[in-house]
Chain A
Amino acid sequence: MKSNLFKYNFITSFIVALCFITNGFAQKTDASNYRMKFKFKTVKQKDNSRLLEVSFIGQNKKNRKDKVPVYNAEINFYNTLNEDEKLLGTSKTSKEGIAQLVLQKNQNYLTDKNGYINLKAEFKGTDAIDEEDSEIAVKDINLELNLKEIDSVKTGIITAYTIDSVGVKTPVEEAEVIISIKSMLSNMKIKEGTIENGKYEFEFPTDIPGDANNNIIVYSSIEDSDDFGNVIQEKSANWGVFKKEIKKNKNTLWSKAAPLWMYIVLTILLVGVWANYMYTIINLFKISKEGKELILNSEE
């Protein structure tokens, strides 16, 4: 009963999703027209928790631009070692076709003799869609980012190490690292480098603007590493240099004071016109005065 319900929900969701794409109407809307893309990745996050993420998307075999996320598919995440499979958790794909599972930093993993954690994501399949699975093996790396001024030079120090079962720290021999800062829309890469013997030092640029308080959020990340997967660490520092004074709009169309030329033009126009009025009135008085004198003379 449970499986029927699942089947019903899942197929309906897939067809509903298909209906929302404009490109698919002319073609058959069954899943056989779509090639399933099942991507699995892991990210060790800044709080040392681990994110397991599956992206499950159907791509039209004839039209590659036609992509339909698989919605509501149940994904099981495992930690495997040889024949053993330890279920870490289950998650359903979102409307974007993403299933995520967050493992806390104190999670115990089964590791092989080289210290690798084998992770597996599995979709069991339905009548419409075949089963899918994907595996990755990563070492549990600890990435630390420190930002400090050394001899007045703003310096970033990244350390990376692994800890074995008895708690011994082993520096990472080599890993590519990217340093970026948080920007308005995405992270802006400012440096790339290689961690050697567990350490990488870099000089922080001195011309990076910060937020309103000059704070900058700096990220150090290892991306798509064969050994470590994705690892990210962040730190904030008050190293922003952009402290531009907000310029008040003076003499503009939208400020309190109008543009200068407006005052000048208006003044010239008004002075010109009103001066003419005054000239006219003065002459009128002269006419009146002359007339009055004439009347007085004639009376005399």
Chain B
Amino acid sequence: MNVKTRKRELVKEFSPMLEKTRFTTKIWIGVLLAIILVGLYAFALQVIKGHAVTGMRNNVVWGLYIINFIFFVGVSYSGAFISALLHFYKTPWKTSVSRIVEIITVLSIIVGPVFILLCIGRLDRLYFLFIYPRIQSPITWDIIAIITDLIGCFIYLYLTFIPDFAILRDSKKLNIPIWRKKLYRFLAANYQDTPTQRKKLHKITGTMSKMVIAMAIVAYTVLAWIFSLTLQPGWNSTIFAPYFIVAGLYSGICVIIIAMYLTRKYFNLEKYIIRSHFIWAGAFFLIISLLYGYFTFSDYFAKWFSHKSGDINLLETLFDRYFWEFIFANYLGVILPLVILSIKKLRTIKLITFAAVIGVLGLWLNRYLIVIPTLETPYLPIQDTRPEFIHYTATWVEWSLTFAGIASFLLLFTLIIKFIPVVPISGIIDREREINDAKLKSE
């Protein structure tokens, strides 16, 4: 196999994605920018007028922002976990999906923490968290974990990008602006794909992948502890940490499947992202959804059976005010994907993606039901009985910022896959090289 020729062929194959921006893409970017602008206006309003413009009050102090934070961070951790697993076990079909997973991982860990900043009433005092940290507080652990994880994910993502940056740097025929060429040269870090360089890069990427798995577990555990170490009804649960990890994996695999479907469809990548990718992802999704359903049942069953007054109040609220949300999040959101993924005939690309969409929506609602009803049913009676103090309803400001966050995620995803091939060229070559080597050995 002539590697140089193969690289040229692959660059040529992927160059339309990198060189041209379709009209539909431009409209897509325009729509996303418009949503982000509305979000920025909402943010400015929140900064000027304070949290009064949100639905958060003395009682329900957390709202959509924290839910989005948990959701995105969960996606990131599971992305890191899955990506590192793919790399760690050198899965044959990892090449086509690894980049999608890696991009999702990093973008989620960038967008997620922005939401926690929106929760802070006095952003001007944010630096207090760093100059007066309280080591005993799970919030401090979370800050440390997120920052460490963010940097770790960046390094890991960058390591996986380096060979492709080098290939793009060396592609003379690639019709891209000079600044991009310069940027590829800088980011390629003089990588020449020599055996020693390749060995070193594989070694450090392997170490980082193990580290990222460990970090994902630690960081998401810490995030779960923010809730479970408090004595709030519904939160003070010993299984919250593993439950969060499983839920994170659940949301992560759902987002990955959706991203795989959209990228495949948009860039006509049927050659690279094949049905078996969806089947494998679906199998993983099935296992995780079984685990997720089991944890959800176990958590709520223990709450119901122990009959503690706080938990009973919470369950009454869940089955009264939040009945349909509860049914969707914890019944449909789990059972529907389970049915689709369990029956062989239903395991088509479209239906697996549909199951993933249901899974994502169900999980987001599940996070909502973990946060809001608990804050609405505290142990101590609510002093001020104004309805807006007891019950939480998100305002347009919160919804705008939520959609702005999702739009930012999608925009960054779109821009990154315009900047670097969505299927790693180096990965394809490595895979072909492995097959070639194996053939030579067998001969």
Contacts and interface: CB of A to CB of B under 8 A. Distances in A.
Interface in A252-300: 253-254, 258-259, 262-263, 266, 269-270, 273-274, 276-277, 279-281, 283-284, 286-292, 294-295
Contacts of B218: 269
Interface residues of A, number: 27
A259 B208 CA distance: 30
B191 A287 contact: yes
A99 B12 CA distance: 106
Contact of B194 (A259, A288, A294): A294
A253 B140 CA distance: 13
B204 interface: yes
Given A273-B215, A281-B155, A288 B204 contact: no
Given A258-B136, A262-B135, A276-B211, A286 B200 contact: yes
Interface stretch (B144-152, B241-249, B353-361, B398-406): B144-152
Contacts of B192: 290-291, 294-295
Interface residues of B, number: 27
Given A266-B135, A273-B211, A290 B152 contact: no
Interface string B210-222: 0100010010000
Contacts of A287: 162, 189-191, 197, 200-201
Which of A253, A277, A281, A286 has most chain B Cβ within 10 Å? A277
Interface string B1-14: 00000000000000
Nearest to B210: A276
Contacts of B190: 287-292, 294-295
Contact of A290 (B196, B204, B208, B215): B196
B197 A276 contact: no
B199 to A, nearest CB: 10
A284 B194 contact: no
Interface string B179-193: 000000000011110
Given A284-B189, A291-B189, A273 B152 contact: yes
Nearest to A295: B190
A279 B135 contact: no
Contact of A288 (B148, B189, B203, B211): B189
Contacts of A280: 155, 159, 204, 207-208
Interface string B231-273: 0000000000000000000000000000000000000000000
A276 B208 contact: yes
B197 A291 contact: yes
A283 B215 CA distance: 21
Interface string B124-153: 000000000011100001001000100110
Which of B152, B197, B204 has most chain A Cβ within 10 Å? B204
A283 B158 CA distance: 13
Contacts of B215: 273
Nearest to B218: A269
Contacts of A295: 190, 192
B155 A277 contact: yes
Contacts of B211: 273, 276
Contacts of A262: 135-136
16 contacts: A254-B136, A258-B135, A266-B141, A266-B144, A273-B211, A279-B207, A280-B159, A280-B208, A281-B155, A287-B190, A287-B197, A288-B191, A289-B190, A290-B190, A291-B189, A291-B190
Interface of B: 134-136, 141, 144, 148, 151-152, 155, 159, 162, 189-192, 194, 196-197, 200-201, 203-204, 207-208, 211, 215, 218
Given A253-B136, A259-B136, A286-B200, 14 more contacts: A266-B135, A273-B152, A273-B211, A276-B211, A279-B204, A280-B204, A284-B189, A284-B204, A287-B200, A288-B189, A290-B194, A290-B196, A291-B190, A294-B192
**Pairs A-B, 5 closest by C-beta atoms:** A291-B190, A258-B135, A288-B189, A288-B190, A280-B204
